[in-house]
């Protein structure tokens, strides 16, 4: 069955370290998204991509970067982790077309100490 | 700033009752509307999508859209304890590509 996976599921890192969160989908969806979810803020868009070599900034992109070298993967990199980036991170994907239904991965809980 | 507003709850209903969840949005040009269910510690799961004014039914769920009032609702009939979760409203604003703006969610508690 097609699916979307994220790894690692849990990560503890130290302030200042570079961290990469992986997202892989087998739906062949062109559109992929990264969100963070925090109490009191809900889901906020970090970065998104509409296809290979395409990346776009979302609402809370500072301190994060993404790259899209193939259809299946959109890794999220925290260039220098900060305590404010402690959060739950979700990857999502959607198909091309007028129907913008997004399907979410299981999430990564990141703690920055 | 495009916004999606939901009452945070908790909304408490007895088993078998109808639960009514509401959402308002600020961008009048929004075209696509979604309801996600999120259990504690899990990822959001798409349960309903609606694109035109009126009602859309799927099993025990009914989504209602009123674009003139910029209002979306989700009705859950015959509520079950397993429906206890946070419900997220999401909207695709005009000229936002395929990006969605999410509300902060309403927590529903169904008591047996």
Q: What is the pLDDT of residue B86?
A: 97
From CA A111, how far away is CA A43, in angstroms rounded?
17
Q: Which residue of B has its CA nearest to A98?
A: B98
Q: What is the pLDDT of residue A98?
A: 59
Q: Tens of pLDDT along B7-35?
A: 888 999 999 999 999 999 999 989 899 99
Contact A104 B43 (CB under 8 A): yes
CB atoms within 10 A of CB B27: 18
Average pLDDT estimate for A31-50: 94
Contact A94 B32 (CB under 8 A): no
Percentage, residues of chain A above pLDDT 70: 99
CB atoms within 10 A of CB B52: 9
Do A63 and A36 touch, CB atoms closer than 8 A? no
Do A103 and A92 touch, CB atoms closer than 8 A? yes
Beta bridge partners of B91: B33, B101
**pLDDT level of residue A47 (50, 70, 90 thresholds):** very high
From CA A110, how far away is CA A90, in angstroms rounded?
11
- Give me the count of residues in chain A: 113
Contact A102 B42 (CB under 8 A): no
Beta strands at B11-14 and B106-111: parallel, antiparallel or unpaired: parallel
Match 């035109």 to its residue by tokens.
Answer: B52
Q: Which residue of B has its CA nearest to A105?
A: B43
Do A43 and A90 touch, CB atoms closer than 8 A? yes
**pLDDT level of residue A106 (50, 70, 90 thresholds):** very high
Do A22 and A86 touch, CB atoms closer than 8 A? no
**Closest approach of A18 to chain B, Cα-based (Å):** 25
């Amino acid at each position: 069955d097609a699916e979307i996976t994220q790894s690692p599921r849990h990560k503890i890192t130290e302030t200042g370290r570079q961290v990469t969160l992986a997202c892989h989908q087998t739906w062949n969806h062109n559109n992929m998204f990264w969100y963070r979810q925090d109490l009191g803020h809900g889901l906020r868009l970090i970065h998104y991509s509409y296809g290979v070599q395409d990346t776009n900034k979302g609402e809370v992109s500072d301190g994060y970067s993404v790259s899209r070298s193939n259809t299946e993967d959109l890794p999220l990199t925290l260039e220098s982790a900060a305590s404010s980036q402690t959060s739950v991170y979700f990857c999502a994907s959607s198909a091309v077309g007028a129907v913008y239904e997004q399907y979410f991965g299981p999430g990564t809980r990141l703690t920055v100490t | 700033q495009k916004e999606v507003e939901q009452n945070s709850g908790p909304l408490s209903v007895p088993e078998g009752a109808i639960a009514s969840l509401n959402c308002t949005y600020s961008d009048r040009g929004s075209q696509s509307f979604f309801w996600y269910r999120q259990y504690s510690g899990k990822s959001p799961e798409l349960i309903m999508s609606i694109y035109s004014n009126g009602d859309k039914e799927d099993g025990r769920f009914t989504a209602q859209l009123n674009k003139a009032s910029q209002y979306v609702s989700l009705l859950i009939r015959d509520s079950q304890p397993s429906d206890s979760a946070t419900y997220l409203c999401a909207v695709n604003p005009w000229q936002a590509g395929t990006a969605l703006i999410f509300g902060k969610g309403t927590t529903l508690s169904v008591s047996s």
